[in-house]
Amino acid sequence: MQNLPPLAERMRPHNLDEYVGQKHLVGPDAVLRKAIQSGQLPSMIFWGPPGVGKTTLAFIISQTLDRPFFNLSAINSGVKDIREVIDKAALLKDSLLGLPILFIDEIHRFSKSQQDSLLGAVERGLVTLIGATTENPSFEVISALLSRCQVYILKSLDEDELSGLLHTAIREDVLLKEKKITIKDHEALIRLSGGDARKLLNVLEIAVNGIGGKTIVLTNENVLEHAQQNLALYDKAGEQHYDIISAFIKSIRGSDPNAAVYWLARMIEGGEDPLFIARRLLILASEDIGNANPNALLLANNCFQAVNVIGYPEARIILAQAVTYLASSVKSNASYEAINHAQQLVKQTGNLPVPLHIRNAPTKLMKNIGYGKDYKYSHGYEGNFAAQEYLPELISGTKLYDPGKNPAEDKLREKLRQNWKDKYNY
């Protein structure tokens, strides 16, 4: 019994009915379940955080459809490995075994040339590709390959799903069911998991082994005592990846350059991709600083470009400069809130018509029916401003951008107030 695999592997489900989570994809009548049941399976990308079942779901699909299954990890596979698998798949294509499924874990780590080598196999119908990524595929997967794949978003497991998984493991696992385990508190187990099922089972196993004995009562205190000191410091492929990046972003947002550079060091020492870090700084510069300090976005963009050229080890210096500047900068999320409000308004009101006077009028007919009529060209007026309506009539006067309370945006607010008077209540 001592040579058994870890608990997370022992509890890996074998069919959709055992699979936990992702009801929006594989629940009754859900889109992916229907595709699996029909056998008409497209190539696809699974996008979601670690431990939500991407690899498991790919394997279950192959088992359900009884198709050959090839598994590659982008971390340790090259073009040669891809070609070898594709050659094997080509030999199986016309057999009675069905179209092979090629699963690529961490597909975002493949270079353009590696992804190009996959593209031909997908185009020729040699394999059904299933890629798994923790990164936005729009940024990390080449457009030609992405256009031939259906993207499915997998979500972190919720508290009920995680709690159910704990009790299932205690009840059914070959080792745990031999013990008398009681979960008095489950908050620490859930919190340490971060919605990651694999991490949850790892924490449970560490706590049970650390406490020892046949009768075990799990509390928040003893779980934290045994689990925290044994969890990996940083694992760029999973585990604390999202915990560390969360601490990093929140430290910058919270204007603490000391904490921010510490978490930066944790990622660097853990071997994190410097472009991953720089990309997050770009997003933060707009989301959390925005117009309070427009130079932040310029610096973050220059940081990204420089890191792309330099690479480790010197890239750490460039990242440190950007991180300490962004953390020390005045903050505003007004632009971020503005686009959130605007998108919500669009969802609520639908496709409202563009006011006639600001429509383009490239033809005589359009001019005759009023397109562009009475439009005021702003540069023809004093101060390059002329008051007129730009929003659809139904939502006229709706304020979506509310400048933050900081010197730079105070100036923007005053300018908007001068221009629009009481229309937007600036």
Residues 213 and 289 in one domain: no
Residues 307 and 248 in one domain: yes
Residues 26 and 148 in one domain: yes
Residue 344 in any domain: the answer is: no
pLDDT in tens, the chain (426 residues): 456 788 888 888 888 888 888 889 988 888 888 888 888 888 899 998 877 889 899 999 988 888 888 888 877 777 788 888 888 877 776 666 678 888 988 888 787 778 887 888 888 888 888 989 888 888 778 888 888 888 999 988 888 888 888 999 889 888 888 889 888 888 888 887 777 888 888 888 888 888 888 888 888 888 887 776 555 444 555 546 677 888 999 999 999 999 999 999 988 887 788 888 999 999 999 999 999 999 999 999 999 999 989 888 899 999 999 999 999 999 999 999 999 999 999 999 988 998 988 888 777 777 777 788 888 999 999 999 999 999 999 999 999 999 999 999 999 999 999 999 999 988
Residues 176 and 264 in one domain: no
Residues 309 and 372 in one domain: no
In whole angstroms, give the CA distance from residue 199 to residue 193.
5
In the chain, the amino acid numbered 139 is: F
| Residues whose CB is less than 8 angstroms from the CB of residue 18 and which lie 6 or more positions away in sequence, other chains included | none
Domain boundary among 120, 153, 186: 153
Residue 61 in any domain: the answer is: yes
**Could you tell me the residue range of the domain that residue 131 belongs to?**
21-153
Residues 245 and 288 in one domain: yes
The CATH number of whichever domain residue 306 belongs to comes to 1.20.272.10
pLDDT value at position 234? 47
Residue indicated by tokens 């990046």: 245
Residue 184 in any domain: the answer is: yes
Residue 84 in any domain: the answer is: yes
Domains: count for the chain: 4
Q: Please state the φ and ψ torsions of residue 376, each to the nearest 5 degrees.
A: -100, 115
Do 132 and 22 touch, CB atoms closer than 8 A? no
Residues 141 and 56 in one domain: yes
Do 260 and 324 touch, CB atoms closer than 8 A? yes
On the 0-12 / 13-18 / 19+ scale of CB atoms within 10 A, 48 is: buried
Residues 168 and 64 in one domain: no
Residue 2 in any domain: the answer is: no
In whole angstroms, give the CA distance from residue 335 to residue 132.
32
pTM, two decimals, is: 0.58
pLDDT value at position 156? 83
pLDDT value at position 120? 81
Residues 302 and 363 in one domain: no
Residue 347 in any domain: the answer is: no
Residues 249 and 218 in one domain: no
What 3-state DSSP class applies to 425? Answer: coil
pLDDT value at position 233? 46
Q: How many Cα atoms within 13 Å fall on the side-chain side of residue 311? A: 1
Smallest Cα–Cα separation from 103: which of 78, 85, 91? Answer: 85
Residues 144 and 93 in one domain: yes
In whole angstroms, give the CA distance from residue 369 to residue 354.
14
pLDDT value at position 302? 96
The CATH number of whichever domain residue 164 belongs to comes to 1.10.8.60
pLDDT value at position 241? 66
pLDDT value at position 1? 46
* Tokens representing residue 54 in the block: 């991407």
What 3-state DSSP class applies to 188? Answer: helix
Residues 144 and 66 in one domain: yes
